[in-house]
Amino acid sequence: MRREFFSLMYGNNAELITLSRDVDALLVPHGTEVRLAEGSYVHLVQSLGGAFTLIVNGNMLRVDGSNADALGLEPDVIEYETPADGSVNTDDLWRTLGTIYDPEIPVSIVELGLIYMVDVEALDDGNRVHMAMTLTAPGCGMGPVLIEESRLRLLKVPNVSDVTVELVFDPPWSHDMMSDAAKLELGLFY
């Protein structure tokens, strides 16, 4: 019965994996950090943008791509060039954000139109990135996970020393904010 329910919810594309080492994950939707033990069985249900969505004992978890080896997979690494003048390449920020996918649907947060603003502030010892984002609905439970994943990923961009992510709901998100590619992926063209 449980296998049938799992197949119904996540399809036959879910892959059963045994972890080869301990790995840190974020509990969806709360964003609480948990540690999965070596030898644990997990179901991989999404592998997009260098992050992995897993189901473990009925819980959805997010694992960063830097832990791909624990899943027996190759990491999806973004190559950056470090600006010698200490600045931040804003294209790298947007490219990085474009690799963050909603844990439940196969569309990036950039393509969904969830990113309202990305700004860089020069500091004495690096650069602070301030990002304003929204969610598809004010009650969307994915907020904490998407915020934390955005913050952690942006910290990997050269010369970024601090990241703040502000969750805003003005203007309210609508389907019109999605890219045409996202609408096509989700079947929203009428």
| Separation of alpha carbons 102 and 98, rounded Å | 11
**pLDDT at residue 13, rounded to an integer:** 63
Q: 150-161: per-residue pLDDT in tens? A: 999 999 999 999
Superfamily grouping for domain 90-185: Fe-S cluster assembly (FSCA) (3.30.300.130)
Q: 14-40: per-residue pLDDT in tens? A: 889 999 999 999 888 777 889 999 999
| Separation of alpha carbons 19 and 171, rounded Å | 42
Q: How far is CA 160 from CA 29, 76, 122, 155, in A?
A: 26, 20, 9, 6
Taking residue 90's Cβ as centre, other Cβ atoms within 10 Å add up to 13
Q: 51-60: per-residue pLDDT in tens? A: 899 999 999 9
Q: What residues does each domain of the chain span?
A: 2-71, 90-185
Q: Considering the entire predicted model, what is its pTM?
A: 0.78
**pLDDT at residue 167, rounded to an integer:** 94
Measured in Å, how far apart are the chain's first and last C-alpha atoms? 37
Sign, Cα dihedral of 116, 122, 123, 125: positive
Nearest by Cα to 159 from 125, 115, 112, 118:
125
How buried is residue 6: exposed, middle or buried, by Cβ count under 10 Å (0-12/13-18/19+)? middle
Over 50: is that where the pLDDT of 2 sits? no
Q: Which CATH class is domain 2-71?
A: mainly beta
- Contact criterion met (CB below 8 Å) for 58 and 83: no
Q: 84-100: per-residue pLDDT in tens? A: 999 999 999 999 999 99
- Of 157 and 136, which is predicted with more confidence? 157
Over 60: is that where the pLDDT of 8 sits? no
